[in-house]
């Protein structure tokens, strides 16, 4: 049995045509799954009973069988979703309310574990277990909405894994989320974050409905960046800058640069001015991220030296960027108390992971 959300619209269309049904039945199925969020094919009363039976015999609708969650005092919720094959992934719901502007964001995972082994990220300590399927990514969103009782406004691919290393699945999911008939999300409310897989940044710019791009930069010094992010040994800062320029020129969407501040490593005035020069190449903003310690996983000697910059240093860094003409924002530490903040997703409670049921 396959999960129906792993199929594209054309796949569903082929399925109904091969069975001898009319082509428009595919749209009825598509709408039922993504607009009406049915839990069983029997709920799709517009379909002939015989087709509902064929669908039930061939497909599952939901890939998530259970969830566990932890709530932080700031309203952040970390989910541990268990899939039908027994594996699991973490997602984080982040509420944000500033008067008239309210956001409900889900940070989704695209892989179980990660192969990139960034020094500041706990997920890399797991190694890459496998890519998530389209169904497993979409169901993180649907299950979160079911639990919180309302629709999400924003999706960020900043959970476990490197989205651009699961590229084909990512594009399939983006096609669903931005489908103009289903109207799940505006493409401008979806952000894909990458550590800098340069060829795939060029490919992402070419998709039918491109979304926002965030690039994890964290240093404008090549040697330090290589220590922080081993992927930097493959693609240097010049290549990343050129890919970012191309992405903006192709999509007309501003770039976001993510920058974690480490005490005494990348938080000086000189660092801020170098970053500003890098970011000014195209319309962009910088998200300054406080470092969240990952002491709950085994650390190497370099990781043990990483310390968060002081609040005063963070403010100074932001002010330098602003004076250099770059929009800069300090990312909140949402979910820190539940190990749900940036870089902390790694099944901190291993027992919870293996016993999730």
Please give the average per-residue pLDDT across 131-158, as a whole number: 97
Please give the average per-residue pLDDT across 191-206, as a whole number: 98
pLDDT of residue 86: 84
CA-based nearest residue to 285, from 320, 252, 328:
328
Q: Which of 107, 118, 144, 342 is catalytic?
A: 342
Which pLDDT tens digit goes with each residue over 259-288?
Answer: 999 999 999 999 999 999 999 999 999 999
- 324 and 176 in one domain? yes
Which pLDDT tens digit goes with each residue over 311-333?
Answer: 999 999 999 999 999 999 998 76
- 110 and 28 in one domain? no
Q: Is position 107 annotated as part of the catalytic site?
A: no
pLDDT of residue 339: 57
Structure token digits, residue 46: 């517009």
Structure token digits, residue 310: 């002081």
- 84 and 10 in one domain? no
Q: What is the CATH number of the domain that holds 294?
A: 3.20.20.70
Question: Which of 12, 27, 60 finishes a domain?
Answer: 60
pLDDT of residue 102: 84
Q: What sign does the dihedral 210-132-134-166 (CA atoms) show?
A: positive
pLDDT of residue 350: 40
pLDDT of residue 343: 56
pLDDT of residue 301: 86
C-alpha neighbours within 13 Å on the C-beta side of residue 93: 27
- 275 and 145 in one domain? yes
Q: Which of 90, 136, 143, 162 is catalytic?
A: 90
Q: What is the CATH number of the domain that holds 33?
A: 1.10.150.530
- 123 and 98 in one domain? yes
Which pLDDT tens digit goes with each residue over 300-316?
Answer: 888 888 999 999 999 99
- 135 and 237 in one domain? yes
Q: How many structural domains are present in the chain? A: 2
Check whether 346 has a pLDDT greater than 80: no
Give the confidence band of 353 by pLDDT, cuts at 50, 70, 90: very low
- 160 and 34 in one domain? no
- 72 and 49 in one domain? no
- 85 and 25 in one domain? no
In angstroms, what CA-CA distances link 57 with 8, 50, 154, 318?
Answer: 19, 11, 34, 57
In angstroms, what CA-CA distances link 185 with 69, 169, 179, 181, 255?
Answer: 24, 17, 8, 11, 19
Q: Is position 54 annotated as part of the catalytic site?
A: no
Domain that holds residue 51: 2-60
């Amino acid at each position: 049995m396959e999960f129906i959300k792993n199929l594209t619209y054309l796949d569903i269309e082929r399925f109904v045509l091969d069975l001898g049904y009319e082509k428009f039945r595919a749209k009825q199925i598509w709408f039922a799954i993504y607009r009406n969020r049915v839990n069983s094919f029997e709920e799709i009363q517009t379909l002939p009973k015989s087709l509902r039976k064929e669908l039930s015999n061939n497909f599952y609708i939901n890939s998530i069988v259970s969830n566990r969650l932890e709530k932080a005092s700031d309203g952040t919720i970390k989910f541990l979703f268990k899939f039908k094959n027994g594996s699991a992934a973490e997602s984080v719901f982040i509420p944000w309310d500033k008067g008239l502007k309210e956001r409900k964001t889900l940070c989704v995972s695209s892989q179980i574990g990660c192969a990139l082994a960034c020094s500041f990220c706990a997920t890399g300590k797991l190694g890459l277990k496998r890519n998530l399927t389209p169904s497993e990514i979409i169901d993180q969103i649907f299950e979160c909405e079911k639990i919180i009782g309302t629709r999400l406004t924003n999706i960020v691919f900043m959970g476990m894994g490197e989205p651009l290393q699961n590229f084909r699945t990512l594009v399939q999911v983006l096609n669903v989320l931005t489908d103009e008939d289903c109207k799940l999300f505006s493409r401008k409310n979806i952000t894909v974050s990458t550590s800098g897989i340069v060829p795939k940044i060029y490919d992402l710019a070419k998709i039918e409905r491109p979304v926002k791009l965030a690039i994890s930069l964290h240093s404008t010094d090549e040697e330090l960046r290589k220590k922080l992010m081993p992927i930097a040994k493959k693609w240097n800062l010049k290549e990343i800058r050129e890919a970012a320029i191309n992405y903006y020129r192709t999509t007309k969407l501003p770039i976001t640069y993510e920058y974690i501040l480490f005490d005494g490593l990348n938080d000086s005035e000189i660092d801020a001015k170098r970053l500003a020069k890098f970011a000014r190449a195209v319309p962009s903003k910088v998200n300054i991220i406080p470092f969240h310690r990952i002491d709950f996983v085994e650390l190497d000697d370099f990781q043990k030296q990483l310390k968060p910059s002081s609040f005063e240093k963070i403010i100074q860094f932001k002010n330098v960027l602003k004076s250099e003409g770059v929009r800069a924002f300090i990312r909140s530490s949402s979910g820190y108390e539940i190990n749900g903040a940036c870089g902390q997703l790694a099944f901190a409670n291993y027992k919870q992971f293996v016993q999730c049921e």
